[in-house]
Structure 1
Amino acid sequence: MSIPVIDLADALAPGGARSAAVAAQVRAAGTASGFFYVRNHGVPAALAEAQYALARRFFELPLADKQAIDLHRSPSMRGYEAIGAQTLGAGARPDLKESFYCGLEYAPDHPYVRRGYHSYGSNQWPAALPEMAAQCAAYTAALLALAQRLMQLMALSLDLPEGYFDHTHGNPMVTLRLLRYPPHPRDADERTFGAGAHTDWGAITILAQDALGGLEVCMPGGAWVAAPPMEGSFVVNLGDMIPRWTNGRYHSNPHRVRNLHSHGAPRYSIPFFYSPDYEARVEPVPTCVLPGAAPRYEACTVGEHLRDMYRKTYGLGNAGAAMA
């Protein structure tokens, strides 16, 4: 089994000529590994290239400049995270990656910020890169539009109205992450990863990866397969929120990273994590529950789902959020 490639041409707007055909492909991917590539996705190549260039400049900054915006200085957990600070795989060694988190800006008087909801708030930016805020905001806006369109196509794939999930987009939880993986150690053991095996907790992840590769996906039968980069495409994977919405019909499969093919060069990737409004309700949709049958998942809010995932993950011994 391989990871399918879905062409979004003529399906990027509601009512697009190919929307039904694309929705059928989303259905096939969702019921398999929950992973697929998208091309002709509407995000300008120049914007993505500028984001990569920015990531390289950021990670080349002196360590003191990066540590000055350590994410633990931020109430919304945005900023720099050092190598080894996160352990995603149960029983694995600390992940060999460093990262930077940012997201949508929510003002201090926003109700969700006042309530202390996770990931709502402001960003931290390095003083040495004054252009970073504007570039990340532009990239985030483009990926947010794509994520919300993918949610519409997912609705169609479930035989629901195209706008079924639109009401959940009000105050979305969005995290943009820049990642740098050093070369994989030659003496690494089987417990060493750039990012250990995990699933993502939210709704949709859209990943840009450089030409070096390293992403691996666990397929339904348990085999791990490479998800090599394809020029001009993104890798999309469904997070743990989607099985709750689809009553287990669509899958959120484990994935991991090992920078094995770079010939000594660092690997860069840029994942964009999308979840709906913190207070949006998540419950199995009617087309996924047989008449008279009890849903497999209880209804909850987005925030309750994420808090539950934190509890389960910490109970397994992992050290951080499932974001790779």
Structure 2
Amino acid sequence: MSIPVIDLAGALAPGGPRRIDVARQIRAAAMSAGFFYVRNHGVPPDLVARQFDTARRLMDLPLARREALSIRHSPIMRGFEALGAQTLDEHAQPDLKESFYCGMDWPADHPYVVAGYQTYGPSQWPEELPEARTQSQAYIDALNKLSLRLMQLLALSLDLPEDYFDASCREPMVTLRMVRYPAHPREADERTFGAGAHTDWGAITVLAQDGHGGLEVQMPDGSWVPATPIPDTFVVNLGDMIPRWTNGLYHSNPHRVRNLYSAGAPRYSIPFFYEPDFLARIGAVPGTVPPGETPKFHPCTAGEHLKEMYAKTYGLKHRSAEAAA
């Protein structure tokens, strides 16, 4: 089994001539790997390259500056996350990665910002890299557009109207995460990973990865296959909201990272987590619950779902106004 490559040419705009063919390919991927590559995705290569440069410059700041902008100082988890701060697989060692989180710029008087909903609010930016914010916002804007289009193609893949999810995504929860993985330690045991096996929590993740590789995806038969870097593509995977939305028809498959192939160099990846509006209802869409059966998942809001996942991996107490990304 392998991860399919889906060409979005002719399907990037609503009503595009290849939209039905692409939707069928997404359906096949969603019912098996839950992962696929996209090419001809409309995001300029130089914009992606500049984002990787921004990631390197951010992660190369002195440790004291990174600590001063730690996510511990942000109520919505924006800023730097230290090496080993997260454990995605509860049976493994703490993850060997460090990150910088940021998101969309929301006005201070937006109702969601005032309410303190997770992801809605200001990011922390280092003063010595003033261009990091401008570049990251441009990248977020481009990935927002692509992600909404992927949600529209997902709708078509479920035989729903192309704009079925649009109302749920008007004010999406968005997190851009720039990640640096150190070289895999020579003395590491079998429980050591850059990112332990996990599924993503939200709707769609759009991943840019450097050329080193290291991402592995678990297939339905239990085997692990590498998501080998392919130039000018993104790796797209479905998060745990999609099985909720499709009554288990579409899959959110486990994946993990081990930086084994970089010859001692750090590996960089840039995942973009796209989730619907905090208050969007997540429940089985039409056509996914067989007649006479009850849905496999209880309906909830997107915020409730993500807050539950966040508390699980960071061990925080439940607070009803918060969610995670």
Is contact 2:283–2:300 with CA below 8 Å preserved after alignment?
Answer: yes
How much has 1:36 moved relative to structure 2?
0.3
Is contact 1:88–1:322 with CA below 8 Å preserved after alignment?
Answer: no
Q: Which runs of 4+ in 1 moved over 3 A?
A: 310-315
Is contact 2:309–2:324 with CA below 8 Å preserved after alignment?
Answer: no
Which residue identity is paired with 1:100?
Answer: F
Is contact 1:5–1:36 with CA below 8 Å preserved after alignment?
Answer: yes
Deviations 1:205-246 (A, max 9, x none): 000000000000011011111101000000000000000000
Is contact 2:88–2:95 with CA below 8 Å preserved after alignment?
Answer: yes
TM normalised by structure 2 equals: 0.95
Q: Which residue of 2 aligns with 1:118?
A: 118
How much has 1:312 moved relative to structure 2?
4.9
How much has 1:280 moved relative to structure 2?
0.7
Which residue identity is paired with 2:38?
Answer: V
Is contact 1:35–1:235 with CA below 8 Å preserved after alignment?
Answer: yes
Is contact 1:199–1:322 with CA below 8 Å preserved after alignment?
Answer: no
Is contact 2:244–2:282 with CA below 8 Å preserved after alignment?
Answer: yes
Distance 1:81 1:313, change over 3 A: closer
Superposed counterparts of 1:105-144, under 5 Å: 105-144=105-144
Does residue 190 of the first structure (1) align with residue 195 of the second (2)? Answer: no
Report the Cα distance in structure 1 between the residues aligned to 2:226 and 2:243, rounded to whole angstroms.
Answer: 23
Which residue identity is paired with 1:204?
Answer: I
Report the Cα distance in structure 2 between the residues aligned to 1:74 and 1:127, rounded to whole angstroms.
Answer: 16
Report the Cα distance in structure 2 between the residues aligned to 1:310 and 1:132, rounded to whole angstroms.
Answer: 26
SS in 1 for 2:54: helix
Is contact 1:198–1:322 with CA below 8 Å preserved after alignment?
Answer: no
Q: Which residue of 2 aligns with 1:45?
A: 45
TM normalised by structure 1 equals: 0.96
Q: Which residue of 1 aligns with 2:74?
A: 74
Name the Cα RMSD after superposition: 1.5
Q: Which residue of 2 aligns with 1:249?
A: 249
Q: Which residue of 2 aligns with 1:166?
A: 166
Report the Cα distance in structure 1 between the residues aligned to 2:9 and 2:63, rounded to whole angstroms.
Answer: 42
Does residue 199 of the first structure (1) align with residue 203 of the second (2)? Answer: no
Q: Which residue of 2 aligns with 1:88?
A: 88
Is contact 2:307–2:324 with CA below 8 Å preserved after alignment?
Answer: no
Superposed counterparts of 1:258-273, under 5 Å: 258-273=258-273
Q: Which runs of 5+ in 1 are unaligned?
A: 316-320
Q: Which runs of 5+ in 2 are unaligned?
A: 316-322
How much has 1:58 moved relative to structure 2?
1.2
Is contact 2:205–2:273 with CA below 8 Å preserved after alignment?
Answer: yes
Q: Which residue of 1 aligns with 2:224?
A: 224
Which residue identity is paired with 1:245?
Answer: W
Report the Cα distance in structure 1 between the residues aligned to 2:166 and 2:187, rounded to whole angstroms.
Answer: 49
Q: Which residue of 1 aligns with 2:12?
A: 12
How much has 1:293 moved relative to structure 2?
2.0
Count of residue pairs brought into register by the alignment: 319
Does residue 208 of the first structure (1) align with residue 208 of the second (2)? Answer: yes
Distance 1:244 1:25, change over 3 A: same
Report the Cα distance in structure 1 between the residues aligned to 2:313 and 2:63, rounded to whole angstroms.
Answer: 30
SS in 2 for 1:275: strand
Report the Cα distance in structure 2 between the residues aligned to 1:230 and 1:179, rounded to whole angstroms.
Answer: 19
How much has 1:291 moved relative to structure 2?
2.3
